[in-house]
Structure 1
Amino acid sequence: MSTAYQPLHHKYRPQRFDQLVGQEAIAATLGHALTSNRIAPAYLFSGPRGTGKTSSARILARSLNCLNSDGPTPEPCGTCELCTTIAAGTALDVIEIDAASNTGVDNIRELIERSRFAPVQARWKVYVVDECHMLSTAAFNALLKTLEEPPPQVVFVLATTDPQRVLPTILSRCQRFDFRRIPLDALEAHLSWIAEQEAIEIQPEAIHVVALRSQGGLRDAESLLDQLSLLPPPIEATAVWDLLGAVPEQELLQLVQAMSSAEPVALLEATRNLLDRGRDPGAVLQGLAGILRDLVLMAAAPDRPELTGVSPQFRDQLPPLAKALGRARLLQWQAQLRGSEQQLRQSVQPRLWLEVLLLGLLAEAPAAAPATSAPVTAAVPSQTAPAITPTPAVPAPSPTPSAAPATAPELPKVAPAAAEGAAPNLAELWQQILGSLELPSTRMLLSQQGQLVRLDANRAVVQVASNWMGMVQSRAALLEQAMAKALGGSRQLVLEASSGGAAPKVQPPPAAVVTPPVINTPSPTPEPTPPAQTRAAPAATPQLPEPVSQAPKPPEPKRPPANTSEPSGLDRQAKNLADFFNGQVLDMDNPEV
Structure 2
Amino acid sequence: MALALYRKYRSATFSEVIGQEHVTAPLMQALSAGRINHAYLFSGPRGCGKTSSARILARSLNCEQGPTPTPCGVCGSCKDLAPNGPGSIDVIEIDAASHGGVDDARDLRERAYYAPVRDRYKVYIIDEAHMVTTQGFNALLKLVEEPPDFLIFIFATTEPEKVLQTIRSRTHHYPFRLIPPSVLRAHLEWICQAEDATVEPAVFPLVVRAGAGSARDSLSVLDQLLAGAGSEGVTYARAVGLLGVTDSALLDDMTDALAVGDAAAVYGTIDSVVEAGHDPRRFAADLLDRLRDLIVLDAVPDAVSKGLIDYAGDQADRLADQSRRIGIASLVRFADIAHTTLTDMRGTTSPRLMLELLCARMLLPDAASDSAALLQRLERLERRQAMDADAAAGTPAPADPVEPLARDRTAGPSEVSEPAPESADSSPPDEVVQEQVAPPAPSPVAPAGLPAASQASSESTDLRHLWPQVMLALRDRSKVKWAMMNEVQIASVEGEVVSLQAPAGLARRIADDSNLAVLRDVLQSVVFGNWQLTVTSAPSTNASPAAPADRPPAADGEPMPERASRPARPARSARPAASESVPSPPAAANDGVDEESDEFHRTDRSGGDAEAAAIALLQSSLGARPMETS
TM bin, normalised by shorter chain, reads 0.5 to 0.7
2:70 to 75, 82, 87: 75
Could you say which residue in structure 2 is the equivalent of 1:318? 319
Distance 1:23 1:414 in 2: 57
Residue 354 of structure 1: how far off its partner (Å): 1.0
Distance 1:37 1:127 in 2: 20
Distance 1:164 1:89 in 2: 33
Deviations 1:291-317 (A, max 9, x none): 111212222222333454342231111
Q: Match of 1:353, as an amino acid? A: M
Distance 2:145 2:97 in 1: 23
Gaps of 5+ in 2: 369-376, 378-385, 394-471, 486-517, 530-603, 613-629
Residue 36 of structure 1: how far off its partner (Å): 2.0
Could you say which residue in structure 2 is the equivalent of 1:247? 246
Q: Secondary structure at the match of 2:124?
A: strand
Could you say which residue in structure 1 is the equivalent of 2:183? 186
Residue 85 of structure 1: how far off its partner (Å): 2.8
Distance 1:292 1:455 in 2: 35
Do the aligned partners of 2:188 and 2:219 also contact (CA within 8 Å) in 1? yes
Instruction: Call closer, same or farther: CA 1:279–1:64 in 2, change over 3 Å.
Output: same
Distance 2:519 2:125 in 1: 65
Could you say which residue in structure 2 is the equivalent of 1:224? 221
Instruction: Call closer, same or farther: CA 1:454–1:108 in 2, change over 3 Å.
Output: farther
Residue 511 of structure 1: how far off its partner (Å): 6.3
Higher Cα Rg, which structure: 2
Deviations 1:473-498 (A, max 9, x none): xxxxxxxxxxxxx999xxxxxxxxxx
Residue 460 of structure 1: how far off its partner (Å): 8.4
Greater alpha carbon shift after TM alignment, 332-341 vs 215-224? 332-341
Distance 2:320 2:187 in 1: 31
Instruction: Call closer, same or farther: CA 1:416–1:72 in 2, change over 3 Å.
Output: same
Could you say which residue in structure 1 is the equivalent of 2:295? 296
Q: Match of 1:114, as an amino acid? A: R
Could you say which residue in structure 1 is the equivalent of 2:276? 277
Could you say which residue in structure 1 is the equivalent of 2:44? 47
Distance 2:4 2:270 in 1: 38
Distance 2:307 2:194 in 1: 31
Deviations 1:442-466 (A, max 9, x none): xxxxxxxxxxx99979x989xxxxx
Distance 2:138 2:303 in 1: 51
Q: Secondary structure at the match of 1:97?
A: strand
Distance 1:95 1:323 in 2: 58
Could you say which residue in structure 2 is the equivalent of 1:234? 233
Residue 324 of structure 1: how far off its partner (Å): 1.3
Do the aligned partners of 1:249 and 1:310 also contact (CA within 8 Å) in 2? no
Could you say which residue in structure 2 is the equivalent of 1:263? 262
1:510 to 594, 597, 608: 608
Q: Match of 2:151, as an amino acid? A: V
Answering whether residue 110 of structure 2 is matched by residue 109 of structure 1, we say no
Instruction: Call closer, same or farther: CA 1:191–1:249 in 2, change over 3 Å.
Output: same
Residue 157 of structure 1: how far off its partner (Å): 0.3
Number of residue pairs the alignment of both structures matches? 404
Instruction: Call closer, same or farther: CA 1:371–1:28 in 2, change over 3 Å.
Output: same
1:206 to 192, 195, 203: 203
Could you say which residue in structure 1 is the equivalent of 2:352? 351
Do the aligned partners of 1:43 and 1:156 also contact (CA within 8 Å) in 2? yes
Do the aligned partners of 2:254 and 2:265 also contact (CA within 8 Å) in 1? no
Q: How does 1:48-63 map to 2 (within 5 A)?
A: 48-63=45-60
Do the aligned partners of 1:253 and 1:291 also contact (CA within 8 Å) in 2? no
Greater alpha carbon shift after TM alignment, 215-224 vs 293-302? 293-302
Instruction: Call closer, same or farther: CA 1:365–1:291 in 2, change over 3 Å.
Output: farther
Distance 2:180 2:77 in 1: 33
Could you say which residue in structure 2 is the equivalent of 1:130? 127
Residue 148 of structure 1: how far off its partner (Å): 2.3
Gaps of 5+ in 1: 377-412, 424-452, 462-485, 489-505, 515-549, 551-593
Deviations 1:101-130 (A, max 9, x none): 122222112212211111112110000010
Could you say which residue in structure 2 is the equivalent of 1:523? none
Residue 371 of structure 1: how far off its partner (Å): 9.0
Could you say which residue in structure 1 is the equivalent of 2:339? 338
Do the aligned partners of 1:209 and 1:311 also contact (CA within 8 Å) in 2? no
Q: Secondary structure at the match of 2:148?
A: coil
Could you say which residue in structure 1 is the equivalent of 2:15? 18
Instruction: Call closer, same or farther: CA 1:195–1:415 in 2, change over 3 Å.
Output: closer
Answering whether residue 163 of structure 2 is matched by residue 166 of structure 1, we say yes
Do the aligned partners of 2:42 and 2:50 also contact (CA within 8 Å) in 1? yes
Distance 1:350 1:455 in 2: 49
Could you say which residue in structure 1 is the equivalent of 2:80? 85
Deviations 1:352-397 (A, max 9, x none): 2212321231111687368969x99xxxxxxxxxxxxxxxxxxxxx
Instruction: Call closer, same or farther: CA 1:304–1:226 in 2, change over 3 Å.
Output: closer
Distance 1:335 1:65 in 2: 53
Distance 2:135 2:98 in 1: 15
Distance 2:473 2:251 in 1: 49
Distance 2:111 2:3 in 1: 33
Q: Match of 1:125, as an amino acid? A: K
Could you say which residue in structure 2 is the equivalent of 1:561? none
Do the aligned partners of 1:44 and 1:158 also contact (CA within 8 Å) in 2? yes
Distance 2:521 2:159 in 1: 47
Deviations 1:48-70 (A, max 9, x none): 11111101111111111124x2x
Q: Secondary structure at the match of 1:200?
A: coil
Could you say which residue in structure 2 is the equivalent of 1:417? 476
Distance 2:40 2:525 in 1: 54
Distance 1:257 1:371 in 2: 23
Instruction: Call closer, same or farther: CA 1:282–1:456 in 2, change over 3 Å.
Output: farther
Q: Secondary structure at the match of 1:95?
A: strand
Residue 15 of structure 1: how far off its partner (Å): 1.0
Q: Match of 2:262, as an amino acid? A: E
Do the aligned partners of 1:95 and 1:128 also contact (CA within 8 Å) in 2? yes
2:25 to 14, 24, 28: 28
Deviations 1:137-174 (A, max 9, x none): 22223322222221111110000111122233222211
Could you say which residue in structure 1 is the equivalent of 2:328? 327
Do the aligned partners of 2:80 and 2:86 also contact (CA within 8 Å) in 1? yes
Q: Secondary structure at the match of 1:204?
A: coil
Instruction: Call closer, same or farther: CA 1:318–1:89 in 2, change over 3 Å.
Output: same
Residue 22 of structure 1: how far off its partner (Å): 1.7
Instruction: Call closer, same or farther: CA 1:456–1:178 in 2, change over 3 Å.
Output: farther
Residue 328 of structure 1: how far off its partner (Å): 1.3
Q: Secondary structure at the match of 1:180?
A: coil
Q: How does 1:474-493 map to 2 (within 5 A)?
A: none
Q: CA RMSD in A?
A: 3.7
Do the aligned partners of 2:288 and 2:339 also contact (CA within 8 Å) in 1? no
Q: How does 1:555-566 map to 2 (within 5 A)?
A: none
Instruction: Call closer, same or farther: CA 1:487–1:37 in 2, change over 3 Å.
Output: farther
Instruction: Call closer, same or farther: CA 1:323–1:24 in 2, change over 3 Å.
Output: same
Q: How does 1:343-422 map to 2 (within 5 A)?
A: 343-364=344-365, 368=377, 416-417=475-476
Distance 1:182 1:308 in 2: 14
Could you say which residue in structure 2 is the equivalent of 1:38? 35
Do the aligned partners of 1:294 and 1:310 also contact (CA within 8 Å) in 2? no
